[in-house]
Structure 1
Amino acid sequence: MVAQHDEHRPWWRRRRASADAPAAGPEPSDDELHANVTRLLARELGVAEPAADHPRPVTPARIAAWMADNHFSYFVDNDGDLGGLWRGRLFYFFLFGESAEILQIRGQWHREIAIERLEEVLDLCNEWNADRIWPKAYVRVRDNGRVHVVSEVATDLEHGATDAQLSQLLFCGLSTGSMFFDAIDEKYPDPAGSVP
């Protein structure tokens, strides 16, 4: 068996000095040990880069700024809720919770379905929800008996979000909602409001 010199081994496999070996010098101080460990970790793992952006609370103003930065049209309704159109579908952006920490992106399909199709639309929503994480799909029956199909992505942002995280969440809510509505469009070409 060929002996391997310690300097060619990874640091974690190097032999420890035996208790019989003479001491190499005075014991290092805590500060010196800390500096040695920091250098060792930097060499082995790389230097950590400081974050360019820190998580901040999500506000309607940040969502509106994101919409403006991405050249999306948006509005604020009479109730103060922020909404916009995405690929012809209406989406709202809500903040719920005691500290407005839960972001919800809720979309509504641009057409209504007849109440007689309720069971089959519920089955479609259940299939979607069983196969995918986003968006949550469900229906609402209005007072006039028409069925509205809804998508929803909700995220708890108790510790805030960076601009990049917020952008990803907003795109996720809009794009997955649109994918769901595209699937509904394929299943129910116009006129979807007619009785089967």
Structure 2
Amino acid sequence: MEDGSSEGSPVVSMGPSSNSEIGGQPMPEQPEVIIPDQALIRDLLEENEIDYVVDEDGDVCMARKDFRIYYLFQDDELYTIRTFYNRPYPIERKAELLMAVDEWNRDTLWPKVYTRTLDDGTVRVVGEAALIISVGVTYDHFVGTTANWVQASMDFDEWLVQRLNMQASAENDEE
């Protein structure tokens, strides 16, 4: 045949009227795309019986002994989980803390963590992860991502405590 097609091969049309089948097989139903918001976060936390507060800005916060996780939305464009770790570090340990934070950021995807030095000279650690939501996401993707980020935020806190304690123990052994 001159047109390059072979006999018996199915012809697949990619026009808009043919989007219910590909290669003679029905296309799977596409999941609904949503733009998540604070109401969805509150519903998810309530469904999972997780205590939270809503701050004066309307942001949802899950507070624990060692950290606070804020669920933030910016103009239906960006969804961010920001974790503020409550443990203060003296300024004298900032170099050690920065080395640990750099190690975490090199070896893991999220949360990305950084330090903040406060006016009183203490150093705090903040973690964050972000997702562009302006084009929408599926419910399952949003829930799974949120759960993974929260777990990773808790894992970082445990990792940092172990990492800094092991570092301190190694230094004491050398002396």
TM-score of the superposed pair, with normalisation by structure 2: 0.77
Do residues 47 (structure 1) and 23 (structure 2) align? no
Q: What is the deviation of 1:115?
A: 0.9
Q: Give the Cα separation in 2 of the matches to 1:39 and 1:186.
A: 54
* Aligned counterpart for 2:63 among listed residues 68, 82, 85: 85
Do residues 123 (structure 1) and 99 (structure 2) align? yes
- The answer to whether the 8 A contact 1:114-1:146 is kept is yes
Q: What is the deviation of 1:122?
A: 0.9
Counterparts in 2 of 1:107 and 1:148: CA distance versus 1, 3 Å:
same
Tell me the secondary structure at the aligned position of residue 79 of structure 1: coil
Q: What is the deviation of 1:39?
A: 6.8
* Aligned counterpart for 2:7 among listed residues 10, 16, 19: 16
Q: What is the deviation of 1:88?
A: 4.7
Whichever structure has more strand as a proportion of its residues is: 2
Counterpart residue type for residue 154 of structure 2:
S
Counterpart residue type for residue 34 of structure 2:
R
What are the superposed Cα offsets for residues 87-139 of structure 1, whole Å, 9 maximum, x if unpaired? Answer: 8521001112xx33201101122311111111111111111111111110111
Q: Residue 152 of structure 2 corresponds to which residue in structure 1?
A: 176
* Aligned counterpart for 1:104 among listed residues 77, 80, 87: 80
Counterpart residue type for residue 55 of structure 1:
V
Q: Which range moved further: 155-164 or 82-91?
A: 82-91
Q: Give the Cα separation in 2 of the matches to 1:126 and 1:91.
A: 21
Q: Percent identity?
A: 25
Tell me the secondary structure at the aligned position of residue 116 of structure 2: strand
Tell me the secondary structure at the aligned position of residue 32 of structure 2: coil
Tell me the secondary structure at the aligned position of residue 34 of structure 2: coil
* Aligned counterpart for 1:164 among listed residues 140, 155, 161: 140
Counterparts in 2 of 1:160 and 1:146: CA distance versus 1, 3 Å:
same
Q: Give the Cα separation in 2 of the matches to 1:120 and 1:70.
A: 37
Counterpart residue type for residue 7 of structure 2:
R
Aligned length: 157
- Structure 2 gap segments, 5+ residues each: none
Q: Give the Cα separation in 1 of the matches to 2:60 and 2:7.
A: 64
- The answer to whether the 8 A contact 2:105-2:112 is kept is yes
- The answer to whether the 8 A contact 1:89-1:108 is kept is yes
Q: Residue 121 of structure 2 corresponds to which residue in structure 1?
A: 145
Q: Residue 113 of structure 1 corresponds to which residue in structure 2?
A: 89
Tell me the secondary structure at the aligned position of residue 105 of structure 1: strand
Q: Give the Cα separation in 2 of the matches to 1:55 and 1:16.
A: 40
TM-score of the superposed pair, with normalisation by structure 1: 0.70
